[in-house]
A and B are shown apart, each in its own frame.
Chain A
Amino acid sequence: MVGTGLLKGLGVTFKEMWKPKVTTKYPDEPYELPNRFRGIQKLYVDKCIVCYQCAHICPTQCITIQEKPKADPKQKKKELEVFDINFEICILCDLCTEVCPTEAIVMTSNVELAEYRRDALHKDMRWLEANNTNIRELNLPWKATSSSS
């Protein structure tokens, strides 16, 4: 019959009105990102052996590392003095976390980095250590599967 399509269309829009919305209220309500999302790195200062692999692989050379002078000359383990990531140029490419032999640096799914001053984007080792929410649970899945099998 002529005109039933119109009523059908009205029904579709009417039902759509009560359904949950596709868009989110992001800044008002937090938006859950997947756990493997490449966000701001978390650093475990104690795990770091100061091997410089992350600084070498970094495509934008945003990581600055300095070794702490050893108090006791017989001490073998190296310790961190400075570990800065410059988030002005960091592209969150995940390479530093991939090469790290001790998983001292891992990704989190936090992304909010907006600052009023550019200086504030140079995050130091204390700040990176304190960034301990939404940490990636399994850093290198292929290693985990190969070791278990």
Chain B
Amino acid sequence: MRDWLYEPLTLGRFAGMALLIFGLLNVVLFLVTYAIYIQRKLLGWMQSRVGPNRVGPYGLLQTIADVLKLLTKESFIPSHVDRPLFLLAPIVAFAPAFVVFAVLPLTDRIAFSDIGVGLLFYIGVASLSTLGILMGGWASNNKWSLIGAMRAVAMMIAYEIPLVLAALGVVMQAGSLNLTAIVASQETVWNVVPQFIGFLVFLIAALAELNRTPFDLTEAESELIAGYHVEYSGFRFAFFMLAEYVYLFAMGALISLLYFGGWLPPHPALSFIPGGVWMALKTLLFAYFPFWLQATFPRVRVDQLMTFAWKGLMPLALVNIVLTAALKTAGVV
């Protein structure tokens, strides 16, 4: 499939690509459906409960029932909202979440694009979702929504910078922004070892980007009801929800590509297992990791959040860059 990217575009290849993209969308929707199920199960187990177990065997159809309920709800628009923005916001929030999958290579054979600035594209497009959140929060004409949306934007600005600076260490080491090249550069040792500080900063900043606990201030139930999507229900709410969980998988894939060698096995002796399996395992691990944190940590305060980003993560990321540069110049890595 990767070969198609370098050959002329024919109608057949276009149709094949379109089919594969449709397939990917379905895979992503399936993963999101079961991510919500696994989230509820894990939270249940960690809180000494059994979790959903009523719909279907072991509650496996619970999320499907929830989705059906959401889709059959009345498509309700409150009278006091800014109508065009209100309608547009869920789409603006969700579309980038799926677009970023374009630059994430899944194995050495399966990739939907091979552009030179893949990492930059991911970070640039992923930031657009915050715009959708701000649009939704503003258009809802509701104080909770607006506060949630403002927090989302403030967090995005604060955490995008350490996120990018941490990723910069990886880019310096690989000498490329292309995610395939970054994975190829980890053939001998995964980036998580030489870039450990960068990895920690990236992981924390990624959690904040995903609005997961302990940084879930944008939809803090106990203070803001549901944050930016208070006024949304039914299908439009499902879109916001979908965007949030799709990013979980996109970020999981990005972390495994940048720091854990993507589809490379942990040891060359294990290379008989196909790369896709390794990639899937690593992605799922990092996609489900936030649920564990969610069961453990309380939410941080807004001022703590900002202090932590600007005074903690930023200098740490800068130190990481300087260290990487020094080691690179000395020829250690």
Contacts and interface: CB of A to CB of B under 8 A. Distances in A.
A26 to B, nearest CB: 11
Interface in A1-33: 6, 9-10, 12-14, 16-19, 21-23, 25, 28
B332 to A, nearest CB: 27
B50 A21 contact: yes
B47 interface: yes
B292 A13 contact: yes
Given A6-B297, A17-B42, A25 B50 contact: yes
B46 A10 contact: no
Contacts of B28: none
B297 A16 contact: no
How many B residues touch the partner, as a band?
10 to 19
B226 to A, nearest CB: 24
Given A6-B297, A9-B297, A16 B49 contact: no
A22 B49 contact: yes
A25 B49 CA distance: 10
A114 B48 CA distance: 29
Contacts of B48: 16, 19, 21-23
B190 to A, nearest CB: 22
A101 B76 CA distance: 67
A21 B53 CA distance: 13
A14 B280 CA distance: 22
B45 interface: yes
Interface of B: 42, 45-50, 53, 292-293, 295-297
Interface of A: 6, 9-10, 12-14, 16-19, 21-23, 25, 28
